[in-house]
């Protein structure tokens, strides 16, 4: 055990830690501001977030210290457990705002769809690790990976949770593209996606999801109704200017105009109070973290480690892009949190477990 601790200390990935800790610290500062004008019940979210960060950090340390080859051996078992949890959501889950996504665990709730993102990454990594194919992959080579991804996606869509299902699909797409998917399958998949759009609109999307897409295409159509969130978010960010209004001085936030400012729209609070300069600082931290994750993938000693690192980096990248994009009004609004920055226990826990996997691959890049 002492040698394991010494090895962990000597090969510790400090840049990865600093990037994640920096984003999480700024997120805590922002969360305090986002909840400062609310009642006591909302202000307690700040303390709850501290608990989740502590729990997630402990989980990240445990995940990082166990040789990731153990995760490769049990990747399918973990995936199956995740599927069971997704099914349990429909049996014992809590319904919030018309969606059933959370399982009660004592005083807390767990969102299995969040953890499923990690479990899908592990299952895909195990399959690709065992697949001896080295040349470019065709459509036939996508069948098994697609069968891994489609069941959790379907269960997540039934909750309904379009945002998380989209993230799972984007993780799958990124992994396959970066593991030598040929151009022809990409074109075919793009064509299938385009042709299926009308069916998706008619049969898969809920009415409120269609309304959000319509509000995105015509932002000024209903700014007091379905377009309210996006409109107030754009006003907050735009009013921040270059340097922002100052900490705890954001009027959209402090006067209660900005909804869901601690979960889905924390970037609007940050942009209003710290302006373009502060937004660029946060964006640079995310950019560094994602590029560093890809660097870890390039240095991995086996395909499993490389795919895990790519998958976690893709998860962070797409969630950051979609969340910031929807807050700025350049993407439709979906329920996706900003990694390490938004309030949300399951999201924080999932992201920090992902960081633990990145640290794990990084630690073992020197030897096996």
Instruction: Give the model's pLDDT for residue 10.
Output: 65
Per-residue pLDDT, averaged over 265-284, amounts to 94
63 pLDDT more than 90: yes
270 pLDDT more than 60: yes
Between CA 270 and CA 268 the distance in angstroms is: 5
Please check whether residue 89 is in contact with residue 159, taking contact to mean a CB–CB distance below 8 angstroms. yes
Tens of pLDDT, residue by residue over 213-237, are: 767 777 776 677 777 878 888 888 9
Closest to 130 in 3D by CA, of 357, 300, 302 = 302
41 pLDDT more than 60: no
Per-residue pLDDT, averaged over 30-55, amounts to 82
Q: Which residue has the higher pLDDT, 40 or 308?
A: 308
The lowest-confidence range among 91-100, 141-150, 247-256, 258-267 is 91-100
**pLDDT category, 73, cuts 50, 70, 90?**
very high
Domain residue limits, the chain: 2-363
Between CA 16 and CA 120 the distance in angstroms is: 23
Query: 263: exposed, middle or buried (C-beta count within 10 Å: 0-12, 13-18, 19+)?
Result: middle
The lowest-confidence range among 218-232, 332-346, 350-364 is 218-232
Per-residue pLDDT, averaged over 20-27, amounts to 96
Tell me the Cα Rg of the chain: 21
Instruction: Give the model's pLDDT for residue 132.
Output: 66
93 pLDDT more than 80: no
Between CA 276 and CA 126 the distance in angstroms is: 42
What 3 state SS string does the chain have? CHHHHHHHHHCCCHHHHHHHHHHHHHHHHHHHHHHHCCCHHHHHHHHHHHHHHHHHHHHHHHHHHCCCHHHHHCHHHHHHHHHHHHHHHHHHCEEECCEEEEEEECCEEECHHHHHHHHHHHHHHHHHHHCCCCCCECCHHHHHHHHHHHHHHHHHHHCCCHHHHHHHHHHHHHHHHHCCECHHHHHHHHHHHHHHHHHHHHHHCCHHHHHHHHHHHCCCCCCCCCCHHHHHHHHHHHHCCCCCCCCCCCHHHHCCCCCCCCCCCHHHHHHHHHHHHHHHHHHHHHHHHHHHHHHHHHHCCCHHHHHHHHHHHHHHHHHHHHHHHHHHCCCCCCCCCCCCCCCCHHHHHHHHHHHHHHHHHHHCCCCC
Per-residue pLDDT, averaged over 15-29, amounts to 95
pTM: 0.91
**pLDDT category, 40, cuts 50, 70, 90?**
low
Tens of pLDDT, residue by residue over 96-153, are: 766 778 888 776 778 899 999 999 999 999 999 888 676 677 778 888 999 999 999 9
């Amino acid at each position: 055990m002492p040698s394991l601790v010494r090895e962990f200390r000597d090969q510790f990935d400090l840049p990865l830690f600093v990037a994640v800790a920096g984003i999480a610290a700024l997120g805590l500062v922002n969360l305090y501001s986002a909840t400062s004008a609310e009642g006591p019940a909302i202000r307690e979210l700040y303390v709850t977030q501290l608990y989740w960060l502590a729990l997630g950090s402990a989980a990240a340390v445990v995940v990082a210290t166990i040789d990731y080859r153990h995760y490769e051996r049990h990747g399918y078992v973990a995936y199956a457990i995740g599927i069971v949890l997704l099914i349990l959501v429909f049996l014992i889950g809590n319904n919030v705002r018309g969606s059933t996504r959370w399982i009660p665990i004592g005083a807390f709730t767990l969102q299995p769809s969040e953890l499923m993102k990690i479990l899908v990454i592990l299952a895909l990594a195990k399959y690709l690790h065992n697949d001896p194919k080295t040349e470019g992959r065709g459509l036939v080579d996508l069948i098994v990976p697609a069968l891994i991804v489609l069941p959790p996606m379907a269960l997540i869509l039934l909750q309904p949770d379009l945002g998380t299902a989209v993230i799972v699909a984007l993780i799958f797409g990124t992994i396959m593209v970066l593991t030598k998917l040929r151009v022809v399958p990409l074109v075919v998949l793009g064509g299938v996606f385009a042709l299926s759009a009308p069916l998706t609109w008619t049969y898969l999307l809920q009415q409120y999801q269609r309304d959000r897409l319509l509000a995105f295409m015509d932002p000024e159509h209903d700014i007091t109704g379905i377009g309210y969130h996006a409109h107030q978010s754009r006003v907050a960010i735009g009013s921040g200017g270059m340097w922002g209004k100052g900490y705890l001085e954001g009027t959209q936030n402090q006067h209660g105009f900005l909804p869901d400012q601690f979960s889905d729209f924390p970037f609007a609070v940050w942009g209003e109070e710290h302006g373009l300069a502060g937004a660029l600082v946060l964006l640079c931290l995310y950019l560094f973290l994602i590029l560093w994750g890809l660097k870890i993938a390039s240095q991995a000693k086996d395909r499993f480690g490389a795919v895990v690192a790519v998958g976690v980096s893709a998860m962070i990248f797409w969630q950051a892009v979609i969340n910031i994009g929807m807050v700025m009004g350049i993407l439709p609004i979906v329920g996706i949190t900003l990694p390490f920055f938004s309030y949300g226990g399951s999201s924080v826990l999932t992201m920090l477990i992902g960081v633990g996997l990145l640290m794990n691959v990084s630690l073992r890049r020197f030897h096996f």
